[in-house]
Amino acid sequence: MRSIVRNHRRSIPWIMALSFVVEGVDMLVPVLMGLIIDAGIVQGSLLVTVGGAIGIFVLRLLSTWAWTIMFAASQRARMFERHRLRVAVTAAVLDPRSKPIERPAGEVLSIATSDADKASDVMDMLPWAFPATTVVLAASVWLAILDLWLGLATMLGIAVMVIVVRVISPVLSARYDAQQSKAADAAATATDLVHGLRVLQGLGVQSRARAQYRRRSRTALDAALVNARFSGVSSGLTTLVTAAMMAAVVIIASQRTVAGDMTIGTLIAVVGVARSNMGMLQGLSGLPVWWASMSTSARRVRNLLADLGREVDDPELAVERLALARDERGERSPGERRPGTGGLRLRGSGTGRLRGIELLVPDGRVVAVACADMRDAEALIEAISGRTELAEVLLGGDEVTRENRFTNRADLLVEPHVVDLFDGTLREQLATRAPDSVLAPPQDGSAPDAWADAALHAAGADDLLRILPEGYDTRILDRGANLSGGQRQRIALARAVAADAPVLVLHDPTTAVDAVTEQSIAEALVAARQRPDRATLLITRSPALLRAADQVAFVRNGSLAGHGDHEDLMDHDDYRKMVQR
Amino acid sequence: MNADLSVVDWDADPEELLEADATARRQLDEHAQILPIATIGAAFAHLGGRLRQFLGMTVLTLLVVTCGAAAAAWMPRLIGDAVDLVQQGAGSDALWRQGGLIMLAGVLQAVFSALGWALVSGLGQRVLAGMREDVIDRALDLPAQSMEVTGIGDALSRVADDVDVTARAVNNVVPNLIQMGFYVVVTLIGMVTLSPWLLILVAIVVPMYLLSAVWYLRQTAPIYRRERVAMGARAQGLLSAIHGIPTVHAYGIERRETRHVAVLSETAVVLGMRVMTLVTKLVKIVVWPENLSIALVLVLGYAMVHVGGAPIGLVTAAALYLISLLWPMMNLIFSLDDVQSAAASLTRMVGVIEAIDPASSPGDERPLDASISLEGVSHAYGTDDDGEERVVLRPIDLEIAPGEVVSLVGASGAGKSTLASIIAGTLEPRHGRVLHGGADLTRADIEAARAHSSIVSQDVHVFRGTLKEDLRLARPTATDEELWEALQQVDASGWAERLPRGLDTEVGEKGERLTAEQSQQLALARVALQDPAVLVLDEATADEGSSGARVLERAALEVAHGRTTIIVAHRLSQAMVADRILMMADGRVVEQGTHDDLVARGGDYATLWEAWAG
């Protein structure tokens, strides 16, 4: 919140100044009307009446003009802050340099959207709240100067109003929160059921899901009805206070007028001011709740950023400062192929589960590791990704560490086992990290998509081009939602192949693929990666992939239990059992 | 397009902004509304129909709100009378009496406004609750298998966003708006009855207001629509990036994904700012009728007093009416935004409710046993450029005996999953008949048919709520013992017991995160509870996780025991155990028989087996 205000410290003063003018004129209009009725209509002067009418006309025009400038500026600031907070949160969440957090995605989303929006409302509120409050107080002071009792009555009215607001609004906001959480619960249930639609329909339990939603919806309704009653009472109370004050003002002012201390016009002005005053006060009465929700939101944004170890003003979060593997790939000239690294090596000291696994994945070879226990496979991936200390994994000649694990992404691609696809065409999916040397149109004049064809072929996904209605231009939805599990996995594999990383590590790349397709993937994948300057490590238990690999290491209980090619290892009982499950 | 996305170019054309990100542009273009949208007329007609269900309450609400407005409109008159009393030099008693009347008007207004607010809001909430339940009702029967997820995305935004937008409006804007609206109308009537002179004022000013409101609504409606789409895409982009953080980091695409969100966010705020600019324009327009009416009241007041011989109090009342109108009128205009977005959401909700028929039983046939019979079944999706159907399953006849285990083997795209969904009854084939236990699915009792067969696929979903609630979706009456038994059967009781609160542990998106394997076990446990006669396992055990102990496969076989089972197999180890194996290619069955038969025959299956077992 402080960052927001600081950001606009230069514009806030003049926005406020304009706002003062606007609110002041609003309050002045009834006074002027009273004066004109007095001097024009009561005295019978047409000139004053018409002149006064024109005067008010012009004055209000000017004030409206000031308002539009003020409004545009404050809204611009508000919109800008929404955008800025949102981008900062997004960047901080995605930046690998941030601390990892354990928060559900939905929560992060609501912080980046609704909380960022609410926190930015401070730019909406500040320019209005302060001037409006001042003007209300000034009007009361004017009434007090006219007549002490009048002033006292107004002050009393304001005091009662404040008390009503202070007493009611906490109760009300608690009610409102309760209602919101019930409504949110119903909404979340709805979303959840639609997400699980296939599962529900697979089981054929739509009617039960319907009943469950109905229960939640009715609970939300009950809370909403209670809330409606409370809102009604609060609106009635404010109306009552306003009316009581009006009655008091009328009685006092008319007595004074009858006594000759005031003119009829002043009486009208007083009544008009009192009325506008109450109107403004009703508007202001919503302030505490608004402020509370605003600062809660701002706090949530700040806490999230703090958990990530970032700050909202961090210049490193600017979009173009965020690292991009393609930039770091070191292609000195476009189209130049990234040289090999000399391969990947595990030196065998081992950490955690893994003990003394020595493994060499040299350039030009496809090496497979078969782990009897999947936890060993996961530990291996952790070590290669640089997430474990002292793993002694060497990429070329350099050790992979926590510090350099994001800068060596140009040379080492560890494809996560869980497939995540992002919205984009099939071509864009495959080109996610493909370097220019791959994307460059072929010199021999063959099809421009030859690189993509090759990647799909290596992933056994040639059939996708036939199935997808628009070929490479078919839009793949977020998380590959319009594909089957097997199709998703093969697109991810093709994406990894197209990246043409000097060292590629694949973790169980064919688990969602049927036996027939797996067979063709094994042959095509190995053929695609067997280049003199490319090293490939497959962590898998699939017999098809193991058979196709140049070399297989068998890991059991965290250490090396066998070594050789697939045929050799099939003589090993444990190995055969593991493979032929 | 500016390079630095933290600086917003307010005058930018949204199209230009979107140039920076092809995906964002496509999302805003293509966010096709798959599901129907009602016209605004139809939406209000629907609303009217719902209000008729609460007829008594609606009438009462209207009555109370009108009384409230009348009480509010009474006050300026009382004050005007007070001015007259003063001018006549009335005594203190008369003034106190007048003050008492003002107080009475205030009390009436307060009571009616409290009642009115509660009534309007309550009525709105009741109508809304009925509507959201109907939306879900329809959404649950959308054809999830064939519709694909563009439609699901649309459905999601209707059950969540649209309901939310409407609910917010019902909470605040609608009660306010209705009370203000009535107040404005009653006040205008009050003014006119005060003096016919004021009719001039009303006749000039009201049309000006109405015209500017219509102009404004026309201008902003399309901007709002686009802004809403941009917000939806923005949320989706952010969610998918967060879910895919491992991939984002592995591929180093954090900038691309951040930019995607930033471009959509910028588009949304630029569009939002356009609306704000229109608001300032509107205010600049509306200030003219406002000023005009203030000037007119003064000038007309002069005329009334000096030409018509009216008392000053009348002018006072008129002036007060006017002052007390300005702020509600402004308020009305400012709430047009919310009304507009609520109305848009309303049309989307009503579109779903009215255009999609609630699922009903096509007939009353009931499956008699666990046999399955397919007669001349084939399937195709859409048509290609030449008007030919894109065939995914060629005509097939198939008889499956009760209790038989059939497994489908073949390359991806061979039609295995299509055949499996058709057998399960979740996909209606384009041609041919599917009979479950002798009952034709197109003439069967819907609940009976649904209870008869289940399909478990790779799509796992853990429902939010407790583990118990998740399982009870399959059998609402299940006791704790039965639930544990089901978990035991799928070998999940171990981890379930270790959950912090056992069956009452919160799972799903908000609660304990279950692994893919545990989620799949849960899916199988649901089947055990649902206890269908026919079970289709579509790659249900494909993505088996840790330990490699074949937990899922065992669990699946355990649950399948005694049921007619169709397995879409990934691993040949799964296929082997079946009574019959169907080898599929190009949408047709190319080989059929037991494992031993097929291996002995030396066809495609045998080749596959050779490669696997070698």
- The model's pLDDT over A402-416, given as tens digits with 9 standing for 90+, comes to 777 777 888 889 998
- What residues 566-585 of chain B have any CB closer than 8 A to a CB of chain A? 569-573
In the predicted model, is pLDDT for residue B124 greater than 70?
Answer: yes
Residue to substitute from B256, B322, B455, B456, interface A, most A β-carbons within 10 A: B256
Contact A539, A379 (CB under 8 A): no
Of B75, B255, B277, the CB nearest to A319: B255
| Cα B74 to Cα A115, B80, B98, B327, distances in angstroms | 43, 10, 12, 18
Q: pTM, whole model, 2 decimals?
A: 0.81
Q: From chain B, pick out residues whose CB is under 8 angstroms from the CB of A40.
A: 298, 302
Least confident of A159-173, A533-547, B338-352, B469-483: A159-173
Write the pLDDT tens digit of every residue in A339-367. Answer: 888 888 888 766 677 887 888 999 999 99
B456 vs A: CB within 8 A: yes
C-alpha closest to that of A272 among A56, A26, A20, A44: A26
In the predicted model, is pLDDT for residue B388 greater than 70?
Answer: no
Given the candidates 3.20.20.70, 3.40.50.740, 3.40.50.300, 2.40.50.100, the CATH classification of the domain at A344-411+502-581 is 3.40.50.300
Identify the closest residue of chain B to A176 by CA–CA distance: B171
- Any idea what DSSP says for residue A407? G
- In terms of Cβ atoms closer than 10 Å to its own Cβ (0-12, 13-18, 19+), residue A266 is buried
How long a stretch of residues is chain A? Answer: 581
Write the pLDDT tens digit of every residue in B564-595. Answer: 999 988 778 778 889 999 999 888 999 999 99
Query: Which of A555-559, B45-49, B163-167 has the highest mean predicted lDDT (pLDDT)?
Result: B45-49
The confidence score (pLDDT) of residue A419 equals 86
Average pLDDT over residues B367-393: 80
The confidence score (pLDDT) of residue B226 equals 81
Q: From chain A, pick out residues whose CB is under 8 angstroms from the CB of B608.
A: 515-516, 519
B282 vs A: CB within 8 A: no
Taking an 8 Å cut-off on Cβ atoms, the answer to whether A247 and B5 are in contact is no
Q: What is the Cα–Cα distance from B437 to A516, expressed in whole angstroms?
A: 33
Instruction: Name the percent of chain A lying above pLDDT 70.
Output: 95
Q: From chain A, pick out residues whose CB is under 8 angstroms from the CB of B524.
A: none
Write the pLDDT tens digit of every residue in B263-276. Answer: 888 888 898 899 88
Identify the closest residue of chain B to A218 by CA–CA distance: B129
C-alpha closest to that of B533 among B422, B427, B450: B450
The confidence score (pLDDT) of residue B382 equals 65
Of A324, A513, A578, the CB nearest to B548: A578
Q: What is the Cα–Cα distance from B287 to B279, expressed in whole angstroms?
A: 12
Least confident of A4-8, A308-312, B374-378: A4-8
Residue to substitute from B17, B29, B64, B79, interface A, most A β-carbons within 10 A: B79
In the predicted model, is pLDDT for residue B614 greater than 70?
Answer: no
Question: What would the two tokens of residue A147 be?
Answer: 């007549």
Contact A82, B269 (CB under 8 A): yes
Size of interface A-B (CB pairs under 8 A): 560
In the predicted model, is pLDDT for residue B532 greater than 70?
Answer: yes
The more confidently predicted of residues A386 and A289 is A386
Are the folds of A344-411+502-581 and A420-500 the same? Answer: yes
Residue to substitute from B254, B299, B379, interface A, most A β-carbons within 10 A: B254
Of A194, A244, A513, the CB nearest to B103: A244
Q: What is the Cα–Cα distance from A467 to A490, expressed in whole angstroms?
A: 14
Taking an 8 Å cut-off on Cβ atoms, the answer to whether B280 and A71 are in contact is yes
In the predicted model, is pLDDT for residue B3 greater than 50?
Answer: no
List, in order, residues 6 or more apart from A177 with CB less than 8 Å away.
Answer: none
Least confident of A121-125, A285-289, B293-297: A285-289
In the predicted model, is pLDDT for residue A442 greater than 90?
Answer: no
Taking an 8 Å cut-off on Cβ atoms, the answer to whether A231 and B295 are in contact is no
pLDDT band at B455 (very low <50, low <70, confident <90, very high): very high
Query: Which of A237-241, A359-363, B513-517, B604-608 has the highest mean predicted lDDT (pLDDT)?
Result: A359-363
pLDDT band at B399 (very low <50, low <70, confident <90, very high): very high
Beta bridge partners of A560: A555
Query: Which of A566-575, B331-340, B400-409 has the highest mean predicted lDDT (pLDDT)?
Result: B400-409
C-alpha closest to that of B345 among B93, B154, B568, B101: B154
The more confidently predicted of residues B56 and B209 is B56
Identify the closest residue of chain B to A46 by CA–CA distance: B302
B497 vs A: CB within 8 A: no
Of A50, A209, A477, the CB nearest to B473: A209
Alpha helical stretches, state H, A37-115: 46-94, 105-110
DSSP per-residue codes, A464-525 = HHHHSTTGGGPEEPGGGTTS-HHHHHHHHHHHHHHTT-SEEEEESTTTTS-HHHHHHHHHHH
In the predicted model, is pLDDT for residue A309 greater than 60?
Answer: yes
CA distance A398 to chain B (A): 19
B45 vs A: CB within 8 A: no
- What residues 155-194 of chain B have any CB closer than 8 A to a CB of chain A? 155-156, 159-160, 163-164, 167, 171, 175
Contact B484, B407 (CB under 8 A): no
CA distance B242 to chain A (A): 6
ipTM: 0.86
- Any idea what DSSP says for residue A99? P
pLDDT band at A529 (very low <50, low <70, confident <90, very high): very high
Q: From chain A, pick out residues whose CB is under 8 angstroms from the CB of B228.
A: none
| Count of beta carbons in the 10 Å neighbourhood of residue B589 | 20
Taking an 8 Å cut-off on Cβ atoms, the answer to whether B306 and A44 are in contact is yes
- What residues 210-239 of chain B have any CB closer than 8 A to a CB of chain A? 231, 234-239
Taking an 8 Å cut-off on Cβ atoms, the answer to whether B255 and A323 are in contact is yes
CA distance A142 to chain B (A): 19
- What residues 342-401 of chain B have any CB closer than 8 A to a CB of chain A? 359, 382
Residue B374 sits at the vertex; the CA angle it makes with B370 and B379, to the nearest 5 degrees, is 130
The confidence score (pLDDT) of residue B34 equals 63
Instruction: Name the percent of chain B lying above pLDDT 90.
Output: 24
The confidence score (pLDDT) of residue A333 equals 57
Domain chopping of chain A, boundaries: 1-147+295-324, 344-411+502-581, 420-500
pLDDT band at A271 (very low <50, low <70, confident <90, very high): confident
Identify the closest residue of chain A to B284 by CA–CA distance: A64
Identify the closest residue of chain A to B291 by CA–CA distance: A57
- What residues 248-267 of chain B have any CB closer than 8 A to a CB of chain A? 248-259, 261-262, 265-266
Taking an 8 Å cut-off on Cβ atoms, the answer to whether A514 and B510 are in contact is no
pLDDT band at B77 (very low <50, low <70, confident <90, very high): confident
How long a stretch of residues is chain B? Answer: 614
CA distance A437 to chain B (A): 17
CA distance B133 to chain A (A): 6
Q: From chain B, pick out residues whose CB is under 8 angstroms from the CB of A318.
A: 4-6
Query: Which of A41-50, A496-505, B138-147, B167-176 has the highest mean predicted lDDT (pLDDT)?
Result: A496-505
The confidence score (pLDDT) of residue B21 equals 74
In the predicted model, is pLDDT for residue A317 greater than 90?
Answer: no
Write the pLDDT tens digit of every residue in A367-405. Answer: 999 988 888 888 888 888 888 776 688 888 788 887 777
- What residues 422-441 of chain B have any CB closer than 8 A to a CB of chain A? 424, 426
pLDDT band at B436 (very low <50, low <70, confident <90, very high): very high
Query: Which of A277-286, A465-474, A530-539 has the highest mean predicted lDDT (pLDDT)?
Result: A530-539
Radius of gyration of chain A (CA): 36
Backbone phi and psi for residue B254, each to the nearest 5 degrees, phi listed first = -60, -35
The confidence score (pLDDT) of residue B536 equals 93
- What residues 293-322 of chain B have any CB closer than 8 A to a CB of chain A? 294-299, 301-302, 305-306, 312, 315-316, 319-320
pLDDT, chain B, mean: 84
What class does CATH assign to A420-500?
A: alpha beta
The confidence score (pLDDT) of residue B384 equals 58
CA distance B397 to chain A (A): 23
Mark B513-524 as b/e (b = at least 16 C-beta within 10 Å).
Answer: ebebbbbbbbbb
Instruction: Name the percent of chain B lying above pLDDT 70.
Output: 92
Average pLDDT over residues A138-158: 87
Contact A90, B238 (CB under 8 A): yes
Taking an 8 Å cut-off on Cβ atoms, the answer to whether B159 and A190 are in contact is yes
